[in-house]
Structure formats: C-alpha cells, structure tokens
Amino acid sequence: MSEARDQYLYVCSDGYIPRVAAVHDLCGYGKCSLGVAIPVLSAAGCDVCPVPTSLFSAHTKFPHFYMHDTTPILDEYLDAWAKEGVALDAVYSGFLGSAEQVGAIRRLYAEHPGALRVVDPVMGDGGTTYPTYTQDMCRATATLVSGADLLIPNLTEASILTGLPYEGQDVSDEQVSRLGAALLEMGAKNVIIKGVVRGDGMIRNYLMEAQGAGAPRAFACELLPFMLHGTGDLYASSLLAAVMAGHNLDDAVAFAGAFVHDAMVVTRVQPDFELRGVSFESVLGKVTALVA
C-alpha cells in the first residue's frame, strides 16, 4: 500500500452530529441494507435518516422472501422532509426497488447540493445481477456514477456499470485500473472496487481518485474460507462511517476491510451464519472508537 494521501471528504465540527440519508431496502430477517447501515453509522456518531426503497421479509439468499416496492410512497415521503426542512450532510444509496427510485436520489441531491454523494450500486455479484434487478434498473443506477463522491462497486457491478466484460475475481492491477479509469471517466470522483481474489489467501479492495495520479492503491486483508450475505453493505457502511468521523479516505478504506474481516470472524460461530449473514454487533466498538 502506498503512502496515505490525506484526502478528507468530510470535516467534523466538535460536537456536531452529521445527518446521513440512507437510501436502502429494509430487511426483516438477515443482516444487510438498513439493518447494517443504521447501527454502523450511528456508532460513528451519525444521525441516520432511512429512505426505505423496498421492504423484505428476509434477504434474497433465503429461498422464500416477500418484497414490497416502496416507489409509490417516496414522493410524499420526501415532500414531508422538505416541509420540515430536513438538512443532510450525506446521501448514501444502495439497493433499489425500481428504476424510478433513482429519481428520488437525484431529488435529494438537488435539495441538498452540499451533501456527500455515496453510491453503493448494489446490483449483483459473481458475474450475475440480483434476481430483482432489471436491465432498466441497471441503466438507471449507472446514471448515479457521474458526480459520486464515493462509488463502491464490486467487480460484477463495475462491469455492469462500464459495459466492460466481467473477468472473474482473479484480475490483475491493470484490469482493475481499466475498470476504475472507466468509472472515473463516467464522472465518479473516487472509486473503490471491491473483492479482488488471487489465490494467495488475501482479498483486495482498490482505491482510485479522479484527482490522484498513478496506479490504483490496493488494501489487502486475510481472505476467510467462506462467503456471507451483507458483507458489501457492511463494507460500504463502515467506510462511510470512517469518512463521516473525519478520517482520510485511505484510512477509511483500510478500516472498512479490517472491520468486515473482524465481523466475519465473529459470525462464523453464530447459528445458521452462512444463510443469515454477517454479524457485527459485538465489534461495533471499533466503529465507536473512530470518533473517540
């Protein structure tokens, strides 16, 4: 890893609690989305304001789940916020219920022009899109790339957004650089590409900046011998937690990878952990320490 750049995307004021709109789905059972974003960002001293894009009985890895698309309520939901004069320091979007919900995110951008724009384009993994995502939804999500202060795709999502072929998780620095450069060319300001695995016992996440120079910077952690649902949400939420707590971007990327690793270690001893998803509650103190 190269020397830290000291790029700060958010500067804290003493005693001020930043307000983050979390535009994600809400899952009744299973660890993901708002069930991750709310506690993690709250532990970092943020006031989390949910904008639920869908309601799920359980996440989509379960064989049986119910989904309710909240698109019809979002205009009135945000109208009420506007009438109350809700002010936001960041807009953090993730899983969407429909292509039309991109309009709600853009409305938040327009009404809060100074807010940090954080986009976790939750569309797929392992080379395939999630079952609820259509091509129209993927195209709509791609329009959020331009202007994103933080764009946090995995390799599948980077491929979907750019139109470049998905080449698996064992990709070279040059291949990562090509994906990242394409996303920066589309208008993202900072890109973190997640999940590069090369068979050496490590998993790497790469940071590229529009204002930076040189090759993407790699942040490596131990690769654990199992996969879990919700780790992408946990990664993005803990990264944003570090940013909102006033840490520079390099340190935030490193913290997020280590935090997900530590949460996965805890998860391994929980009942039904491979289905239910990542457990992080007992390590939330690491997030709270960010603001100490």
CATH number at residue 62: 3.40.1190.20
The answer to whether residue 97 scores a pLDDT higher than 60 is yes
Q: Looking at the domain assignment, is residue 287 inside a domain?
A: yes
Sheet architecture: strand order including 47-58: 67-69, 47-58, 19-29, 90-93, 116-119, 150-151, 190-197, 202-209, 217-222
The average pLDDT across 120-130 equals 95
Q: Say if residue 199 is exposed, middle or buried (CB neighbours under 10 Å; 0-12, 13-18, 19+).
A: exposed
The predicted-structure confidence for 206-243, as pLDDT tens digits, reads as follows: 999 988 766 899 999 999 999 999 999 999 999 999 99
Q: Looking at the domain assignment, is residue 163 inside a domain?
A: yes
Amino acid type, 239:
L
Kindly report which listed range (3-7, 73-77, 228-232) carries the lowest average pLDDT score: 3-7
Parent domain of 184: 19-291
Percent of the chain past pLDDT 90, that is, above it, reads 90
The pLDDT of residue 13: 85
Q: Say if residue 158 is exposed, middle or buried (CB neighbours under 10 Å; 0-12, 13-18, 19+).
A: buried
Mode of pairing for the β-strands spanning 19-29 and 90-93: parallel
Q: Residue 252 and residue 40: Cα distance in Å, rounded?
A: 14
Question: Could you give the C-alpha distances from 268 to 197, 265, 277, in angstroms and in order?
Answer: 20, 6, 10
Give the helix/strand (H/E) hosting 5. Answer: none
pTM, two decimals, is: 0.96
**Overall number of domains in the chain:** 1
The pLDDT of residue 61: 85
The predicted-structure confidence for 156-196, as pLDDT tens digits, reads as follows: 999 999 999 999 999 999 999 999 999 999 999 999 999 99
Q: Looking at the domain assignment, is residue 39 inside a domain?
A: yes
Q: Looking at the domain assignment, is residue 3 inside a domain?
A: no
The pLDDT of residue 131: 84
